């Protein structure tokens, strides 16, 4: 997890919000988020980051 540089967009498909957080790509897809492309990091906007955290919590 970490902070993100300014101007980076959320990697979730169809989302054009500014990314605020980065998580590992694997964790994000495991949380059920549809991501553009593929890389080691996934950049998430605030809304999708919240969704990500929620999904992670309900998985445990
Ligand atoms: Zn988003």
Q: What is the pLDDT of residues 1-60, one digit of tens each?
A: 567 777 899 999 999 999 999 999 999 999 999 999 778 999 999 999 999 999 988 755
* CA 60 to centroid of ligand 1, rounded, Å: 23
* CA 52 to centroid of ligand 1, rounded, Å: 10
Please state which CATH class domain 2-59 belongs to. Answer: alpha beta
Q: Given this model, what pLDDT does residue 41 score?
A: 92
Helix, strand counts (H, E) of the chain: 2, 3
List CB-based neighbours of ion ligand 1 within 5 Å: 10, 12, 15, 17, 45, 48
Spell out the domain ranges in the chain: 2-59
Q: Given this model, what pLDDT does residue 52 score?
A: 96
Instruction: Assess contact for 30 and 10: CB atoms under 8 A.
Output: no
Q: Given this model, what pLDDT does residue 59 score?
A: 57
Q: Given this model, what pLDDT does residue 30 score?
A: 93
* CA 42 to centroid of ligand 1, rounded, Å: 10
Q: Given this model, what pLDDT does residue 7 score?
A: 84
Point out which residues pair with 36 in neighbouring strands. none
CA distance 45 to 4: 10
């Amino acid at each position: 997890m970490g902070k993100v540089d300014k101007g980076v967009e959320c990697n979730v498909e169809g989302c054009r919000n500014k990314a605020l957080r980065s998580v590992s790509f694997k964790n994000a897809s495991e949380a059920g988020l549809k991501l553009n492309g593929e890389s080691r990091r996934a950049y998430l906007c605030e809304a999708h980051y919240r969704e990500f955290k929620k999904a992670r919590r309900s998985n445990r």
